[in-house]
């Protein structure tokens, strides 16, 4: 039997020696990138990485190194092999490093902090997996949110890290006014940018590449992402959200993640589950708006916190609704 075998989801290693180990690590790291959108597939991870690279090779490198740092840290700490191989520690680390390079000015110190924070996310992930084990509640991207917000809050006390113009300005929440005219074009652009914003990419091209990666691994997940993003954009439009925010996909990405999580990962498939997932996707823009308003005085971004909160509530509620899978993944 050969030491290396390529499968539809990635690389399978039967013997661990030199180059095989390095290829195996790369496969684990790419699977970690794929797991950002629930895909245990290194080919999808490579497409996701390419989607980021089309806009910025620096951000793509941050995503790759962050996933690697988190994966290696989990292995060093003695985590079980299967979760490491499936990318379950890499995805939070990749997002942490990506976020720090998006919201902080790039420098050697920023890169060092990004990799340190990515490694720390594996510790947070391990702690949450243990804490939530009895309820079989998934950690999702909570380690990413916790680690990243801690880093951003620390910037206020560390003078050598400078935020970029993308960091929200600290201000008290104010009554919103309807801004701009939302057209069909706005909504269509917002749907695909909403998929892209999962990786902080405000580009239709990035969104389409991410969608291609989803469709390769799971057509059902790709459809769920588009429908979830569309529902989020439509609800935001109906509630009078600003046109630039809808066009940028800011109300779509959390809804896309919620729709994928509930319809493709944690609940048994079926008509009732799909309706349940769309209901959750429709509620997510309200949670997103509330989260953004709550964090506005701190000048902090919402990240994927709305996705985490909504998914936790709907997964827990599904126990009484007899919708939950027996063996949900983390």
Neighbours of 7 (CB within 10 A): 10
Fold of 180-330: Ammonium transporter fold (1.10.3430)
pLDDT at residue 326, as a whole number: 46
The closest alpha carbon to 90, from 112, 65, 110, 113, belongs to 65
Same fold, 1-163 and 180-330: yes
CA–CA distance, 25 with 2 (Å, rounded to integer) = 18
Average pLDDT of the chain to the nearest whole number: 91
Which carries the bigger pLDDT value, residue 51 or residue 1? 51
Map out the domains of the chain as residue ranges: 1-163, 180-330
pLDDT at residue 15, as a whole number: 60
Q: Which CATH number among 3.40.309.10, 2.30.110.10, 3.10.20.30, 1.10.3430.10 corresponds to the domain 1-163?
A: 1.10.3430.10
Residue 177 scores a pLDDT above 80: no
For the stretch 285-299, pLDDT in tens is 999 999 999 999 999
* Distance from the first to the final alpha carbon of the chain: 32
For the stretch 215-273, pLDDT in tens is 999 999 999 999 999 999 999 999 999 999 999 999 999 999 999 999 999 999 899 99
For the stretch 34-58, pLDDT in tens is 999 999 999 999 999 999 999 999 9
């Amino acid at each position: 039997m050969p030491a290396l075998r390529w499968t539809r989801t990635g690389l399978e290693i039967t013997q661990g020696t030199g180059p095989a180990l390095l290829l195996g690590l790369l496969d684990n790291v790419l699977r970690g990138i794929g797991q950002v959108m629930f895909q245990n597939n290194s080919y999808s991870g490579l497409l996701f990485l390419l989607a980021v690279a089309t806009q910025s090779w620096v951000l793509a490198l941050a995503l790759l190194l962050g996933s690697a740092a988190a994966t290696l840290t989990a292995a060093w700490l003695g985590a079980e092999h299967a979760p490491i191989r499936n990318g379950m520690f890499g995805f939070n680390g990749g997002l942490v490093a990506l976020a720090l390079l998006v919201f902080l000015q790039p420098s050697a110190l920023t890169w060092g902090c990004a990799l340190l924070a990515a490694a720390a996310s594996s510790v947070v992930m391990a702690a949450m997996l243990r804490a939530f084990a009895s309820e079989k509640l998934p950690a999702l991207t909570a380690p990413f949110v916790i680690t990243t917000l801690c880093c951003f809050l620390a910037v206020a006390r560390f003078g050598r890290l400078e935020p970029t113009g993308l960091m929200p300005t600290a201000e008290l929440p104010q009554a919103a006014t309807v801004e701009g005219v939302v057209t069909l074009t706005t909504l269509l652009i917002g749907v695909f940018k909403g998929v892209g914003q999962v990786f902080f990419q405000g580009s239709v091209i990035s969104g389409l590449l991410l969608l291609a990666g989803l469709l390769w691994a799971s057509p059902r997940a790709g459809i769920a992402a588009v429908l979830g993003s569309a529902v989020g954009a439509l609800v935001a439009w109906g509630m009078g959200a600003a046109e630039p925010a809808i066009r940028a996909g800011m109300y779509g990405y959390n809804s896309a993640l919620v729709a994928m999580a509930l319809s493709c990962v944690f609940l048994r498939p079926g008509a009732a589950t799909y309706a349940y997932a769309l209901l959750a996707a429709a509620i997510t823009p309200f949670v997103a708006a509330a989260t953004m308003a709550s964090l506005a005085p701190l000048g902090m971004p919402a990240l994927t916190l709305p996705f985490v909160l909504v998914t936790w509530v709907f997964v827990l509620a599904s126990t009484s609704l007899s919708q939950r899978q027996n063996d949900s993944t983390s």
